[in-house]
Amino acid sequence: MHHSTAIDTIATQSLIKPNPHLDAAIRNSQAHGLPAITVSALAGQFLAIQAQLIDAKRVLEIGTLGGYSSIWFASTGAHVTSIEISKKHKAVAEENIKVAGYADRVNIELGAALDVLPKLAERGEKFDLVFIDADWGEQWEYFDWAVKMTRKRGCIYVDNVVRTMLEDGTTDPAKAEGSLVAKVGKDERVTATLVSTVGSHKGRVDEAFDGFLMAVVKGEHH
Ligand code: SAH
Ligand code: DHB
Ligand code: MG
């Protein structure tokens, strides 16, 4: 067995408590033909722990899919606003979230993130934590909106940043400049780091290396 598969399997079996709602969401999403691209259980638990550490009351998610990560966030008691471009994904997510008992805690906004984000900002919405997990080509634009809508000392996570770097050729120093990490590094509003992960979620050994970009918005939280 590849090391990454063994690590994922052992840690998941050891640390993740059985959760029928999450299992049902995965099964129902699969039954509706949604792609198997949710965060892993360990990553979902990581995000839920992070939400608890900062006592997040309001979470913004970009990329709902079947609501799997939304359920992880909602399980902490936080209110979740999640943006999804696909009508079908939104419908499946709403079903899964209702079955999990979180219908009153999760609100899914239908539309392209770059259309919805300005509307949320216009309404004056503020979040404690933002999780970006959608269209990779627009990660920087989402990040920029996220910073504007996150409270001071709130945090922003961007999924799949390491894989994006590997696939975009960011590992070539000549191409590094336009990358998300380079842009975020020049952004005076945040302090950021990379949380590299190893795993083989769903047995995809070729995608064993991945990781989040994690940022905190500078300033005093009152
Ligand atoms: N966060 C989810 C997985 C999201 S997969 C989980 O872990 O359970 C990415 C989702 O982003 C897909 O459902 C896709 O339809 C959606 N998406 C892709 N481009 C988008 C865009 N521009 N705006 C909003 N959603 C988008
Ligand atoms: C893919 C997208 C994701 O957000 C992810 O976490 C894993 C895979 C994909 O499009 O293949
Ligand atoms: Mg992802």
Spell out which residues have Cβ within 5 A of ligand 3, the ion. Answer: 133, 159-160
Report long-range pairs for 197-203 (Cβ below 8 Å, ≥24 apart).
197/43, 197/162, 198/3, 198/4, 198/7, 199/4, 199/7, 199/8, 199/40, 199/42, 200/2, 200/4, 200/5, 200/8, 201/8, 201/40, 201/43, 202/36, 202/40, 203/5
Which residues pair with residue 59 across a beta bridge? 80, 129
DSSP 204: -
The pLDDT of residue 2 is 77
Q: Which residue in the block uniquely carries the two structure tokens 């939280």?
A: 221
pLDDT of 81 strictly over 90: yes
Distance (Å) of CA 25 to CA 75, 184, 193: 14, 33, 31
Of 3 and 42, the structure prediction assigns the larger pLDDT to 42
Distance (Å) from CA 202 to ligand 3 centroid: 13
H or E, element range at 107: strand 106-110
Distance (Å) of CA 58 to CA 5, 45, 74, 178: 34, 17, 10, 31
Distance (Å) from CA 33 to ligand 3 centroid: 17
pLDDT of 1 strictly over 90: no
pLDDT of 114 strictly over 80: yes
What's the pLDDT band for 31 if we cut at 50, 70, 90?
very high
Ligand 1 atom closest to the Cα of residue 159 is 1
Distance (Å) from CA 132 to ligand 2 centroid: 12
Residues with a CB atom less than 6 Å from ligand 1: 37-39, 63-65, 68-69, 83-86, 89, 112-113, 133-135
The pLDDT of residue 4 is 79
CA-to-CA distance for 11 and 20, rounded, in angstroms?
19
Cβ(128) – ligand 2 distance below 6 Å: no
C-alpha closest to that of 96 among 67, 74, 73, 60 = 67
Distance (Å) from CA 126 to ligand 2 centroid: 27
Find out whether 119 and 110 touch, Cβ atoms under 8 Å. no
Q: Give the global pTM.
A: 0.97
**Atom 3 (ligand 2): residue with closest C-alpha?**
37
**Atom 7 (ligand 2): residue with closest C-alpha?**
37
Mean pLDDT of 176-188: 95
When computed from its CA atoms, the radius of gyration of the chain, rounded to whole angstroms, is 17
Q: Which of 22, 62, 85, 109 to mutate to test the pocket of ligand 1 (most atoms within 8 A of CB)?
A: 85
Ligand nearest to the CA of 204: 2
Cβ(135) – ligand 2 distance below 6 Å: no
Ligand 2 atom closest to the Cα of residue 39 is 6
Average pLDDT across the chain, whole number: 94
